[in-house]
Amino acid sequence: MSALGVRGLQDDDEEEYQETVEPPVPAGLDQLTAPHLLADLRDACDHVGRAPAFRQCLSALREEHQRLPGLLRRLDEQRLRG
């Protein structure tokens, strides 16, 4: 799993997760989503010299959720690349 390790998945759960279709994002929700907050966190990490650690976690997040194109698009829009 990712460096973020939100929760452990068993092999069967991982397979099911990878096949899950991404639900649509309701209008206006993009303003409150994690990519917006992650951009603020990125800036804070840059300020205190923790940019490499942030990029490593962001890379793990992108890898874990590579089958969610909407999330990746929103990360790209915030210039959040690992």
- Specify the higher pLDDT residue, 51 or 4: 51
Which residues, including other chains, have CB under 8 Å from residue 38's CB and lie 6 or more apart? 58, 75, 78, 80
Give the closest residue to 55 by CA, choosing from 67, 65, 43, 66. Answer: 43
Confidence tier at 4 by pLDDT (50, 70, 90): very low
Q: What is the pTM of this model?
A: 0.58
Going by the DSSP 8-state scheme, the letter that residue 69 receives in this structure is H
Q: What value, to the nearest 5°, has the Cα angle with vertex 76 and ends 37 and 78?
A: 35
pLDDT at 60: 93
The tens digit of pLDDT for each residue in 15-61 reads 655 566 666 666 665 565 678 888 899 999 999 999 999 999 999 99
pLDDT at 30: 57
pLDDT at 6: 44
